[in-house]
Structures are given as structure tokens and as C-alpha cells.
Structure 1
């Protein structure tokens, strides 16, 4: 197997090297022809060189396209439009979207001047693609619909199919409008089926399947993906087969059919290795690791986690590396390997910080590019006006009267330019003042938020400190591992609150149901409840609680559930813990009961000297609530407290 993989790898590199050498030889030959070429021949050569270098050196392709434009200075024809379009495409590849938009709009001006409708449609389509990359989805949709109208007018079926597919993706994936997304996807499928374009058809089928997944229509999603695989195998499209298999694997994982998921993922990996499509190996390895972990095969899971890390390090792609470190951190945590878990979370944070820095640098470059292009446009406008004035002066200098008229016109233009420049400066100053005001307000808001974060961290550290003291005081009869586990449970209950806050747009409150779901998931894993035949059920109303209520509430639930797991079910008996929470006007009623042995006869909660009971009663007082504890016949706790701060 290893020899086969080595052979395939060497074969791939050999093919790539041959392609590169061939392409380089072609470009060298074209560059030699430039030396003796006429102006018209040079324009054609610059077009070919821009296309050739696009595949091997983008900056050189840009340089040749700009040289072609320089030769066509002052002339607007299809060649001019070609160079503008090519520059837009190249700058999009460099993620410099502001520059890409500038050149696409220049190409649009040329097409409009030449009354070239198909060219106008292609400009609209490319401008739409750029707006998608920039996150301006409404503007992207507007340009795509304009392009579609032109393609339909000229009966260009292939162009119509492509733009209809784009619009479907825009509606479904970006604007979250699945109804319109499916409408356009189906239309694209009809066109591709009619024209026999199976290559385009399979891409659309995978997109439609992903839409069905988002709609939770798993039956249709599976059927569509299998249809896409059948067609892709006929036309030999390994990339689409890999994508479809990855989707089928994810669906099987959601359905907890891990053996089926494993089969799909292994097949996808095999096709990747055979075809050389290694662009997203990391995700495939992570999926396999997740599946093997679900199947309790930790040895295999570890192998694929390591392969995912190797692939991510080899690709040097920070998003993939960040994803792998996060997965390894969580895996190590689940395996109780806290040292490794800590190492991986540090590496994850480092990768995430690097990504943040790169994104900020990219945004700054785009702002600088926008500023440079605006200056360039102004300079071009100024030079154009200056040239017009000189032409007028040369044509009319034969008579004094014409010279006087030209002088008056020049003076008028200058005055108007000064006037409009003054108006524009005023408008710019006003916009700048508004932006400064927004920035100032944002800084104030962030300072307040930072103080609030410090305040919350201080409070929670004080709570942790108090819990440690109490645990020390009451934990003499327990082993160190038991004490540490109990402390870990309490800290985890508080940690989940901060995780929910981090993922939430609302920093003032957290949904109780979402919080308890996370907490119970932790208990299931930490105490291995399925092995103990213990189940936890919930019936939680839609209740939002502030930090001052949620921290004590979370610690109360943590303490009660931990007590039930430890003491309620004796002799390995199975059992159930039920949690209910409801609103009664401005009060929250939280009930936790189990089907265990209940409290011993004559038990009085108020006279109990156990740490658990004292914590429950003390925390209930902290949120100004009451607690009723009875045997029913198992233990039943009813905590009632006000939701108002």
C-alpha cells in the first residue's frame, strides 16, 4: 500500500513538473517574439502571456496585461475590454477585491461604449462574483440577475446555466432563502440535462443535496448525492465524488450510523489519494478520527488525528491548522490527558491569533488599495481635462476671438473644479467626522465591555476560591481524585457559562435550556452515564437568565445531579433524573428529581452538615429563592427564585 502511494505521489509530481516545464517553454517563446513584433502583434502576444502566466506567476500576468493596456491607451475596443477583464480576474485571485471591482467596471464602460451586450453580461457576472467574495450579497444578486437577463436575450444556454447556478447558491448559502435557492438550482439542472452538460449538472446536484441537508430532508439529500456520484463516475469527476461522499459521511454521523460513515469517508480518502486531490485532506482525516472515536477505537482515532495534523502542517494553511489543534485539544481533554490538552489549546490560540492578524492586514491592504485607486481615478480625470483644454487651445489659436473663448471656458472649468473640490472636501470632512464619532463610541463601548469582563472574571475567581476552601473543609474523608473531580464539575459548570457568552451576541443573559444541555452533555461524558444505565431527561421553558442568577443556578444543578449519580442508584441499578424549569410570572421554578432510593428516614435538609446540602441552601439564598427537598419516593428538589436582577 505504501509503495503504491509513493508511486502515485511521484507520478503526480512528474506530471506537474512536465506541465510547468512545457508552460514555461511556451512563455519563453512568446517573450522572444515580442522583440521584433509590431504593435498589433504585441497586443496579441500580451493577451497570450497574461493567460499563460496566470497559471504560474500572477504578478507577471498582471504586468503583461498592464503593458497591453498601455499600448491601447486612448483606444476602446474588445482588446481593451479583454485586458480590463483579465486584470479584474487576476486581482480577485490575489484577494484584492477593490482593485478587481475597479477593473471590471472599466471593462463594463468599454462594453457599454461598444454596445457589446454579451460583454456587458459577463462584466455583470464577474462584478457579482466579486461582491460575493466581499460579503455584499444583495449587490451580488442584483448584478447576477442583470447578467441572466442578457444571457437569456441572446439564448446562450451554457451561460444561462452557469449564472442560474450562481444565483441558486447565492440564495441558498448566503441569503438563507432555500425556497428561491431550490427554484434556481432546479432550473440549472433542467438546462444542464437538456444540453447534456453532465459536468455542470453534478456540481449542482451536490449543491442541491447540501440544501436538503439544511432543510433536514435527509432522504432527499441522500438520494441526490447518490445520483451525483453515479453521474460523476460516468464522466470521471473525482472531485465531485469526494465532495458527495464527504456529505454522505456527515449525514451518517448525524444518524449515528458510524459504520456507514466510515465506509463513505474511507472511500473518499482512497479517491483523493488515487486522483491527487489533496486540497482538503485535513478534513477527511479529522472526520475519520471522529468516526473511530465514536466507534470506541481510540487507537485508530489517534492515528487519523495525527495524520490530520501532518496534512495541516504540510499545507501551512492556518485555518486548517487551527481546526486540527482545536480538535486535538478536545480529544485530549476527553481522554483526560490534560497536559496535551493544554499544549494544543495554546497552539490553537496561536494559530487563531495569526489568522486574525492576517485578516486585519488584508483589510488594511484593501483600504489602501481603495485609496490609491480613487487617487488614480482623480489623476486620470485631471489629465483628461487638461488634455482636452490643450487640444481646444491648439485648434482655436488662429483667431483672437477663439482664444478669448477658450480662455473663458478654461477659467469656467477651473472655477467649477475648485467649487466642486470644495464641496467634495466639505462632504468628506463631514463623513470623516461621523466616522471619528463612531470610532470614539466604539472605543468607549469596548472599554466598558473590558471592565465588565474583568469584573465577571474577578467574581468567578472569588467563587472558585470559596468552593476550594469549602471542599478542603468538608473533604477530609474523600480521596484526592474524588475531591478534584468534584472541583472540576463545579468549575466546568461555570466554564460553560463563559463559553455560551463567548458564542452569543447578547452579553447580558444566557438561555437556561441551552446552558443545561451543555452541562448535561458534560455529565454524560465525564461520568459515562450510558455505562451506568442512568438517563437524564429535561423539560425546560424558554428562560433567559443573567450572570448573577445563572452562576448560582448552574452550581445548584451541578451539585444535585452529582449527588444523585453518586448516592441515588445503589447496586448498579439503572435510574433516571428528570429536570424541569418553568416560568411563573417573574419567578423561575426549577425541579430536579430522581428515581433513586431517596433520603433516609428522618432526614432534615436544614440540619444536614454535608457540603452539598449547605451549598444548595447557601446558593439558593444568594439568588433570593427557596428550596423544598422531599422523597417522592426518590430525592426531589424544588427551587423557586426571582428572575429579576
Structure 2
């Protein structure tokens, strides 16, 4: 009994020490609000507020709001308009952090009406807050106006649309535009920038239900971030360390959500728990949505693994500013939980809640579609979209006036029976004539469609015959190879055969396509590489080849030179780049075409080019051929030599 009391006493003693230690650590933590209050003057307080890495580390946003209101009141009493506006800017930011976007927007608009009296920093903060508020309020047309204003004032170089596309559910379009706009701006040695880039691309793929591909991108992001964190040669600021920890948590959360989509619940749970813990510890409200999404996915994973208590704990958390779709998902999970524990009454309650929410969601669909259309048109020309809308309104008004006049004419017709009969006869005549015209139009349409089908068939037959003729040329070259003993002659014939196959493959892809005007380059490049591998037999079978040309299409005038260029590059890599061992060999092929502008890049990590490359340029048939082919594309071939590997790239129209 005495030993028992000794144990109890010891436990309480250590608990007391632990509590005292925690209290001491909390007291030692620096309060940013105290620094703010100790600062001298409104300008210094403004600097303290916005330069803080984690302003809500000790005091909540409500504490900040109360403090700022006191200073604002004092500024009004002393008629200090400059200080009052600075405190109003800070108040606008705090309302945004609290998720009170309507209040924040109203205050920001009031401030921006006086923008000429605001300094540059205040103006930038107000526009950033308005941008975030409009995104959360789904007022995307207003958000675009704010971003154009930021560009005009020099706060940003370009108006980005990819996040707006994603918010509208157009995740693939968002990803494509993000890749086109952001990837060229990131340096190869910028590990942190590459981590953010691959995390964003991976998340867009996840939202587009491409979880396996998304996991690959997200793992690249994590690898780049690990390089950045473990790089002891570069000094990192407190803010950089803070941001990298948050990015790591965000990446882990995205990987966890992908595992849930793939049904890999055991792998998902530790990643989601780690991400929730890290993101919940920060006061940055921009991660609030990530915490909610991760928590709901954690509940889903536990529910699937029949860990009902853990799932219920996640679903019982008090979420602030939960979206409509998140609320639907939460209700569905709660209903599934109560079904599992056989509490069917509660399950039915949550199913009914979702039914009521669907009505609200249906009412919002039309406005969301309008916003989507406005946003898409704005990507090309926002001012032009407004002009088109006004023009459509004018046409609709004319149509209404015309219908009104027609109604009046019909009323006049009924004044007289004779006019009625004549009018009826006229309508019958017009109807019969209309039927006759429709028949003529249908016949002409049928003739035109048959002609187009016949034309397509003829074109496919031509491409098929050209492909067969080129195959025959390839076969003749093979026969000639067998009858030739000269090694150099055999190599020349094999190169010629490879080039002929590259052109034959173009015509094969054309007659296999429904659209005879363009070639889908991802499939063509894959087929071309298989063809080159068959020519060189053993060469290149252990090389890791990455092809990034999905969705890119070229016409035949560009596809043939491009195919021959790529044939030369891949052949050279197989023959020369890996003379000893190709097990660690890597080839990267990137092709993109956006409107009238295109970009091609080819790299390998082989032994690189010899020192006398420039001298060989005039004697090497392969390089001379590539230069001429690039000239046909109205561009110039660029060659970057490194210690390991080589990079070829050029832009084209």
C-alpha cells in the first residue's frame, strides 16, 4: 500500500514538473502582439504586423483585432488620417485571416476608393486581400479585375488564371496553363521553386482524378524539398525555414489524399495526421482549407479500415468556414459511420441534410456557370467578353422588339376574316416553301458530307501508299545492308533506313487518325523511339526515357522535320552517349505548342559531346541535317554542353 502511494506521489511530481516546464516555455515564446504594442508609431507597427512570420503565434486574431481597433479609435480622435488608414489596412487583413471575407471586402473597397492617398505598400496589401476575398467568395470576375489592376500598378508581371480555372473545376486547363506559365521561370538549381511547382502540378492531377500520376509528381516535389532543406551550403532565413516546413506538410497531405483515392488507407493515415498537425499549428489561415480536406480524408481512411472511433473524432472537429462541398462530404461520412455502427436514425438525419444542401447547390449552379464562362473568355480578352455580352443584350432586345411588332401585326390580322384567311394561306405557302428549302439544304448537305468522306478516304489511301512506298525503300536499304561488307556503308544505310522509317511513321499516324491535318505527338514519339530501338537492337533498352508531349499536335509540314530531328538525337544517344553501360541512362523529351509558339527540348545524361563539336558541325551529316531541318521550322538549333550529358533545344512557330 505504501509503495502504491509512493508511485502516485512520484507521478504527480513529474506531472507538476512537466506542466511547469510547458508554462515556462510558453512564457519564453515571444509574442508578436507585444512587439507590435511596443513599436513606436503607426508606421513601425505596420512594419511589425506584415513582416512577422507567424503573427498569431501566441495571441489569436481576435486579440489583434481588439488591439488594432483601440489604436484606430485613438487615431480618429487625434485626426491622424495617415495612421488611421494604416490601422484600417491591418484590420482588413485580420478580417481576411478570420475568414470574414464580406467585412474584409467592404473595408478594402472603402480604402481603395482613397487609393491616391495610400502608400505603395498599403495599396499592394489591399489588392492582395481583395484578390483572396473574391476567390473565397467565388466572385471570379471581380478577382480578375483586381489582378489586372495589380499588373497595371507593377505589383505583378502577368495576370494568372490557373487558380481560377481550378476553383471552377477546370483542373486540367489549370494544370496546362500553370505548366506553360510557371515552368520556364524556374531555374534548374532552384530546388524550393521546383518543389512548389511539382506539388502544384501533382495537386491539379489529383483533383483531375489522376491519382497514380499525381503521386509521381508529388514525390518529385518532396525530393526537391528535401534537397533544399538538407542543403547546408546556403544560409536560410527564419521565414524560409517556416515556409519550407509548411510546404512539406502540404506535400505530405496531398500524397495522403492520393493514397485514399487509390484505396491505400494504411499508407495514407500517417501522412495525413502529420500534415494536419503541422498545418494546424500555424496561424496562416490560407491553410485552413487544406486542414479540413486532410481531416475529412483521414476520417474516410479510418472508416474504411473500420477504425470507427478515430473516424468519429475527426468528423466531430469544429471546422470554421467549411465549404458547401466539404459539408456534403462530411455529412456523407457521418452517415456512413452511423450506418456502420447501426445507428440508422442518425444516419438518415445526415442523408436528409445532404438532400437539403443539394437544393442550395442547384440554385448556385447557374451563377457558377456564368462565372466560368466569363473567366474563360477573360483569359483571351476580358474587355472583348464585355463587348460581346453587350452585343448579345442588344440582339436580344432587337429580337424582343421584333416579336412585339409581330404580335401587333397578328392582332391586326384578326380584324378581318379575309385578312385572316389570306394570312393563313400565306403561312401555309411559306411553310411549304420552307419544307422545300429544307429538303434542298439536306440534299446539299448530304452531297457535301459524302464528298468530304470520299476526300478523307482518298487522303488516307494516299498516306497509306506513301507509307508503304517508304517501307519498301526501308526494305531495299535492309537488303543492301546485307549485301554490303563495309562497316561505314552499313552504318550509313542503317541511318538512312531509320530516317525513312521516321517519315513513314508520320504517314502511318496520319491515315490512322480521324483528323488528317494534325498528328498527336506523344504517341508518335513513343512509336518513333520503339522504331529506333528496333534498328539498333540492343541499344537503348535499359535507358529511362521520359516523354512530355501530351496533348501536343503538329501538322505534317512541322511533324516530318521534327521526326527526323528527334530520330537523329535518339539514334546518337543510343550509339554514342552510353558507351560502357546504359543502366543509369536517362533521356528527357519535352515538346509543347501553345497557339503560334512552340518549344522543343531534348536532354540525356550520357558522356556529352566531344571537345571538337563545333569543328565537326560542318563535317557531321547528322548535325548538318538537324540544322537544315530546324531552319525549315524557321528557328535555330541551340546546343548546351555539360560535364554529363547534352541538351538540344529550339523554339519554333
Shared fold, TM over 0.5: no
Taking structure 2 as the reference length, the TM-score comes to 0.39
Taking structure 1 as the reference length, the TM-score comes to 0.39
